[in-house]
Amino acid sequence: MHAPNFRVDGKRALITGGSRGIGLAAAFALGQAGAEVVIAARDRVGLDEAKKTLSANGLEQGSVRGVVLDVTDASAVEQTMATLGPIHVLVNNAGGNRGGLLKDKTAADIEAVLRLNVTSSMVVSKAVIQGLVDAGEPGSIINLSSQYGHVGSSERTLYSAAKHAVEGYTKSLAWEVGSLGIRVNTVAPSMIETDMTAERLSQPGVREVFAQKSALGRIGYPEDVAGAIVFLASDAAAYITGSCIHVDGGTTAV
């Protein structure tokens, strides 16, 4: 008998949108679990601040790299990936929404949400898969989905469409690359307290409404999501692919 191994020593992990929020928490958790961490974001200042935060919390400077990357730029993704070497753990965390009623959205709004949440995720995954194939190494791709990848909600039509697409392509991709030793899964959070959600959560009654929707009576925190990410990255999840871990306090269980 042997105990499950939740460590990721010797693995290189890339986290897109890694300079804050869930991405930063994932970078910290993966680094603590032994990974060489690469955080990607569009803003150099944000990356530098993220590296300082990780260092201040105990990660060695040499174990963390920051790369300026706009994941919606396919050519930039290809060029950047060529410089990083094999990525054993990919966390496709970059994403965003343009909330509101569909009738009020423009074609540009629709394209932007799908490009950021779906197309870029697939483009980065494609590059990571090719790198692993060339190196003959296994890997784990973890796509950040959402509760809205499983349910719908008014004024979340674009975001829900995008995250449902992430769930769908994850299942198909898991079958495409399973024989190569590459696993593909999603993590689907509900409301998580981050810089991006701070303004909304500060509105009267909003925090309480989301807490009431959770069986645990609270909203989530970035480290809640990071725990699921480290699990899926590790060999403890070696037989898990094409699946989703809901980090939502039971929100989608009803």
Mean pLDDT of 4-8: 97
Q: Of the listed 159, 169, 221, 239, which one is catalytic?
A: 159
β-strand partners of 210 = none
Q: Does residue 221 carry a catalytic annotation?
A: no
- Asked if residue 134 has pLDDT above 80, the reply is yes
pLDDT for res 155: 92
pLDDT digits (tens, 9 = 90+) for 92-107: 999 999 999 999 999 9
Reference 155, options 189, 113, 201; nearest CA is 113
49: tokens are: 């601040």
Cα–Cα distance for residue pair 130/125, rounded to 1 Å: 9
pLDDT at 61 over 90: no
Q: What is the pLDDT of residues 140-165, one digit of tens each?
A: 999 999 999 999 999 999 999 999 99
Amino acid, res. 100: G
**What is the structure's pLDDT at 196?**
87
Helix (H, G, I), strand (E, B) or coil at 143: strand
Question: What does the pLDDT average to over 209-218?
Answer: 97
Q: What is the mean pLDDT of the chain?
A: 97
- Please state, in angstroms and rounded to a whole number, the distance separating the CA atoms of residues 245 and 217: 19
Confirm if 39 and 64 have CB atoms less than 8 A apart.
yes
Measure the CA–CA gap between 117 and 248, rounded to whole angstroms. Answer: 19
Q: What pLDDT does residue 153 have?
A: 92
The full length of the chain comes to 254
Q: Percent of the chain at pLDDT above 70?
A: 100
Q: What is the mean pLDDT of residues 111-129?
A: 98
Give yes or no for residue 184 having a pLDDT over 80.
Answer: yes
Smallest Cα–Cα separation from 176: which of 242, 233, 235?
242
- The full set of domains in the chain, from first to last, is 12-244 (3.40.50.720)
